[in-house]
Chains A and B, each alone.
Chain A
Amino acid sequence: MLSLFTKQKPATEHSKADPAIELRNLSLRFEGHRALEDLSLTVDSGLRVAVVGPNGAGKSTLFNILAGILAPSGGEVRVHGHLPAQHQCLAYVPQNSQVDWNFPVNVEEVVMMGRVRLIGLFRHPSRKDWELVRESLGKVQLEGLAGRQISELSGGQKQRMFIARALAQAADLVLLDEPLAGLDIPSQEQILNILDDLQKLGITVLFATHDLDLAAAQFDRILLLNRRLIAYGVRDEVLSAQNLTKAYGGTMQVVETTEGRIVLGDSGGHHGHEPEGRHG
């Protein structure tokens, strides 16, 4: 358990007291249209944040910028006080990972990939690295499948494998893009339980989802996005009728009843990849 804390320090050091994410006037133009506009935001370390918004709101784009895959066209990004590309303490599990599931690797080999940078060039994994990998697999209840070829995993097991890889990487910030999409209820619950464990380890989690109920029930903060930042904060501040109408426009109805607020007609669903920034 403890060995995950005594990780080797990445090239860039940071204190956990620093905000995990700071954005200042962040924007991204993507072949003429605006995928993200003027985003300013501070996310404190150790929080569990749901990122919600309609399709094309820029959730994946934001993740790609944080991960250092896309460069913003304007504004500033800081991850634990540094530029995204200066960090290796960030793990990203994209939606529909572009991974070839027939690739000749097994579960523990994929998890070990998270340690490649920490092991360093010209070295091979030590026994300690393998112990860490096994420990990470234990935290996501995959120890029994360590030697399993990855094509034989279920959807939930695949997601858990990637979370184990983030643990092996000793990531402080984990970006999960729609990790529950297409999973059955028990698998969803299993992943939500793992999120509790990540939080106990002090790991900040950004979790993109279409499910507003889930966001309201399970997360410390909600980030409501539709190319611009609509709102960021605790559930009651963010999920107001006004904010939701701003984010979802005509595609969503917010009905206040005596029993609470009911949200109807989420455009969400899992339509896959529409070009970013079309909506609005």
Chain B
Amino acid sequence: MVTAAGITAMNPKVAMVDWLLEPLAFEFMQRGLLIAVIVGVICALVGVYIVLRGMAFLGDALAHAILPGLAVGYLVSAGDRSAIFWWALGTAVLTSVGIGALSRAGRIKQDTAIGIVFAGMFALGIALISSVRNYAVDLSHFLFGNILGVTQNDLWLTAGVGLAVLFIVFVFYKEFLVLSFDPTLVTTLRLPARTLEVLLSILMAVAIVVSLQTVGVALVVALLVTPAAAASLLTKNLRNMMFLASVIAAGSGVVGLYASYYLSIASGAAVVLTCTAVFVLVWIWRQLGIRRRQVGSS
């Protein structure tokens, strides 16, 4: 009796473990899961600042604006990943500096400047791609992500970049906090506002570029904004918000990839849909909580 009960209880567990382990037999899934976790943490950390400062549009624009960089990087390096990475990063940094310069010069508001630069760059990217049709398939991976294509090199590069982002957020924690919370104080404390802004946009550019393989240009803004937004509903402490956002993003990366494996859906879409589902659940839970409190107090 006892043994029989034990066996029936074991079976679903064994099935579950098998179900979890099966994809791990593939090296590309191991690498994919690792990179999804690293990218999730990077995007979540940077995304916290994007959410707090209301820069989601800039993030989306930057992601689209790197397309010409990807195209040129691809063409000049014959598909070498790390070359493409640096081209994309350079383009993103240039774009964010360009947007800043355009809106600081006055007469043009920042969101207008973003719109102009973003659409112009994206069009340039499409023009470049369309001129060399053979490469369109590979480049479409950058648009929508291609987790299967992650190489060992990509993994090292992304891990290195991830550590650098962690280090910068840790070192400039208090300066970024003032910059995000109170621009007036940045001025009266005579902090190097411009430098900090540029540093933050470089972090944003980095986060976007390392996300290309997991979610792609078109969806990367979700990885930046959604986990941070969900975390902001759960805590009123910045460190906790960073931690929760990282957990949500990394978790969504893992869950999304399993969904992609078993349901045969595009990996980027699966990861983003998981993030979105988490956000929706958190949001509903918070709304219910608020309603309950209102009912309770009235």
Physical interaction between A and B: yes
Within 8 A of A (CB), among B182-198: 182-185, 187-191
SS class, residues of chain A in contact with chain B? loop
Q: Number of B interface residues, CB 8 Å?
A: 26
**Closest Cβ–Cβ distance, residue B139 to chain A (whole Å):** 39
Q: How far is the CA of A169 from the CA of B172 in the complex (A)?
A: 18
Q: Does B19 contact A (CB under 8 A)?
A: no
- Cβ A121 vs Cβ B188 within 8 A: no
Kindly list chain B residues whose C-beta atoms are within 8 Å of the C-beta of A255. Answer: none
Q: How far is the CA of A68 from the CA of B186 in the complex (A)?
A: 11
Q: How far is the CA of A128 from the CA of B49 in the complex (A)?
A: 28
- Cβ B237 vs Cβ A125 within 8 A: no
- Cβ B177 vs Cβ A105 within 8 A: yes
- Cβ B190 vs Cβ A113 within 8 A: no
**Closest Cβ–Cβ distance, residue B36 to chain A (whole Å):** 26
Q: How far is the CA of A98 from the CA of B182 in the complex (A)?
A: 7
- Cβ B182 vs Cβ A149 within 8 A: no
Instruction: Give per-residue flags for B186-216: 1 if the beta carbon is below 8 A from chain A beta carbons, else 0.
Output: 0111110000000000000000000000000
Instruction: Give per-residue flags for A89-106: 1 if the beta carbon is below 8 A from chain B beta carbons, else 0.
Output: 011101001111011111
Q: Does B292 contact A (CB under 8 A)?
A: no
Kindly list chain A residues whose C-beta atoms are within 8 Å of the C-beta of B182. Answer: 97-99, 113
**Closest Cβ–Cβ distance, residue A20 to chain B (whole Å):** 15
- Cβ B188 vs Cβ A113 within 8 A: no
CB contact between B184 and one of A94, A105, A124 (< 8 Å): that residue: A94
Q: Does B241 contact A (CB under 8 A)?
A: yes
Q: Does B238 contact A (CB under 8 A)?
A: yes
Within 8 A of A (CB), among B216-259: 232, 235-238, 240-241
- Cβ A105 vs Cβ B181 within 8 A: yes
Q: Does A87 contact B (CB under 8 A)?
A: yes
Q: How far is the CA of A100 from the CA of B52 in the complex (A)?
A: 9
Instruction: Give per-residue flags for B170-183: 1 if the beta carbon is below 8 A from chain A beta carbons, else 0.
Output: 01111101101111
Kindly list chain B residues whose C-beta atoms are within 8 Å of the C-beta of A104. Answer: 52, 232, 235-238, 240-241
Kindly list chain B residues whose C-beta atoms are within 8 Å of the C-beta of A69. Answer: 184, 187-188
Within 8 A of A (CB), among B138-186: 171-175, 177-178, 180-185
